[in-house]
Amino acid sequence: MTPSLRVLMVSDVSPTRILGGAERVLWEQASRLVRRGHAVQILSRCPAGGAAAAIEQQGVGIRHFSPDRRSLLRFLLSSILQARRAVARLLSEAGWEILHLYQPFSGFGALHARRAKGLPSLYTFLSPAPLEYLSRHGMTQHHRAGLVGRAVQLMLRRIERSCLLRATRIHVLSDFSATQLRELYGISAGRIVKVPGGADIQRFQPAPDRQSVRKDLGLPTDSPVLLTVRNLEARMGLDTLIRAMATLSQHSPGVVLLIGGAGSQQETLESLSVSLGLQETIRFLGYIPETDLPRYYQAADLFVLPTRELEGFGLTTVEALACGTPVLGTAVGATPEILLGLDASLVLRDGSPEAMAEAIRRLLEAIGRDPSASLRWRQACRRHVESHYAWDACVSRLEAVLQDLRSAEGRWIADGGLPR
């Protein structure tokens, strides 16, 4: 039997508050490794408004550090320095064998900590930090435009590049992200390992009675229901989806769109909806609690992913599919990798409102004409996730990568970097 691993995970985000894909990936990987008998400690920045703490959650140790948020420069520098100090302290307290790093600031601090030199390390690359920063302009007080924004982007590029060059191996969730690594940072394919994200197929599964779920949620039972769950930010393309609904409502009245999530663009998107006369057609749900998310996926006839840029994987895509709900997505980032293996018609021919409206109408009409089509879609979507994107299988592959990192031999193969 292979001895258990001792993994120190270091992240800029905390799993105690799941706000997006980064937190979800971190938590699913950490908690499932613990269930497999490994020791895992997470070190992260505390969530905004929270205090530094040390807790245990489902067997995973979680320790927070609290950066100085009084200015952008203090926030960035203190994130690095506090992570470095905390990692040095943790490495002196316990025999952690592997560093698993998730974002550039805490990752940079960890890789420069005392005792970190010589430890094998895995860096999870979810999205290029400079491009992610640019796409989030205006989201928070720390996301700036102008000279300050350009300076931060340059610093992010240098910090992330340093992390990528120092890490033993780099983990990506998609071929799209692997291509970004090669093109933006010149990382060789032999240093990259692909292990996709996944869905919890016990939590996310088709409902026995979709109509009953809709009644419980206060949704119409006699109209098609579309769903999207996104951070309400410009790169998510939600304005395109709203404009598509204006076209769709002319040909298919009665279709309802649910938009879950919060963000800096909420007021703008709501105003756009009203200006197009869609206030009765589109419902803004706000942040959907984790406990309620499966039911919204189950209730929808179709999930729409209108992303404009930087879709490094798309956990909502596989979660919706796990619930038996087809996903219609733009040909952006990793979305085609997930959907083309299921049905090519689920990838939009272009990202225009007109193409989106036409694809939605065509799929809803096909389901409406054939009562058995909905069941076939549900079964096909579910099988696709069970075969390729179940979290347990994904973490099993990650476990093999970490075990190989720890080994003296560290043999790697080119097709995804998985161990022999």
**65 strand-pairing partners:** 45
Instruction: State yes or no: pLDDT of 397 exceeds 90.
Output: yes
Residue 414 reports pLDDT greater than 80: no
Q: Which two tokens stand for residue 89?
A: 């302290």
Give the pLDDT score at 146.
66
> Residue 419: inside a domain, yes or no?
no
Residue 27 lies in a domain: yes
Which of 234, 222, 161 lies closest to 368, judged by CA?
Answer: 222
What letter would DSSP give residue 224?
-
Pair 252, 363 in one domain: yes
| Co-location of 194 and 314 in the same domain | no
Q: Residue 337 CB: number of other CB atoms within 10 A? A: 19
Amino acid at 279: Q
> Does residue 188 sit in the same domain as residue 236?
no
d(CA 158, CA 76): 13
Residue 364 binned pLDDT confidence (cut-offs 50, 70, 90):
very high
**Same domain for 368 and 224?**
yes
167-196 per-position pLDDT tens digit: 999 999 999 999 999 999 999 999 999 999
User: Within a domain: residue 416?
Assistant: no
Q: Are residues 189 and 278 in the same domain?
A: no
Which strands form 121-124's sheet, in the order they lie side by side? 54-57, 60-65, 39-45, 6-11, 98-101, 121-124, 169-172, 192-194
Say which CATH number the domain at 24 has.
3.40.50.2000
Mean pLDDT of 230-251: 96
Confidence band, pLDDT 50/70/90 cuts, at residue 49: confident
Question: Are residues 240 and 308 in contact, defined by beta-carbon separation less than 8 angstroms?
Answer: yes
The predicted-structure confidence for 278-313, as pLDDT tens digits, reads as follows 999 999 999 999 999 999 999 999 999 999 999 999
For residue 148, is it within any domain? yes
Q: Write down the mean pLDDT value for the chain.
A: 92
Residues with Cβ within 8 Å of residue 99, at least 6 apart in sequence: 8, 10, 87, 110, 111, 116, 119, 120, 121, 122
| CA atoms 389, 395, 401, 405: torsion sign | positive
Residue 417 pLDDT more than 80? no
pLDDT of residue 94: 85
Say if 204 falls within a structural domain. Answer: no
DSSP state of 199: B
- DSSP bridge partners of 284: 259
**This prediction's pTM:** 0.92
Amino acid, res. 358: E
Q: For residues 242 and 281, what is the distance between their CA atoms, to the nearest angstrom?
A: 10
Residue 86 sits in the same domain as residue 194? yes
Q: Are 370 and 314 within one domain?
A: yes
Scanning the structure block, which residue is given the tokens 């272009």? 350
pLDDT band for position 136 (cuts 50, 70, 90): low
**Measured torsion, CA atoms of residues 132, 45, 229, 290, in degrees rounded to the nearest 10:** 160
The answer on 401 and 361 residing in a single domain is no
Q: Is residue 74 part of a domain?
A: yes
| Same structural domain, 160 and 304 | no
DSSP one-letter string for 22-86: HHHHHHHHHHHHHHTT-EEEEEEEPPTT----EEEETTEEEEEE----SSHHHHHHHHHHHHHHH
| 420 within some domain | no
Q: How many domains does the structure of the chain reveal?
A: 2
Which class for 386: exposed (0-12), middle (13-18), buried (19 or more C-beta within 10 A)?
Answer: middle
Taking every pair of C-alpha atoms in the chain, what is the biggest distance, in angstroms? 66
Does residue 417 form part of some domain?
Answer: no
pLDDT band with cut points at 50, 70 and 90 for residue 31: very high
Residue 149 identity (one-letter amino acid): G
Residue 161 shares a structural domain with residue 254: no
In which domain, by residue range, is 264 found? 210-388
Both 194 and 240 in one domain: the answer is no
Same domain, 240 and 259: yes
Report yes or no: 331 and 299 within 8 Å, Cβ to Cβ: no
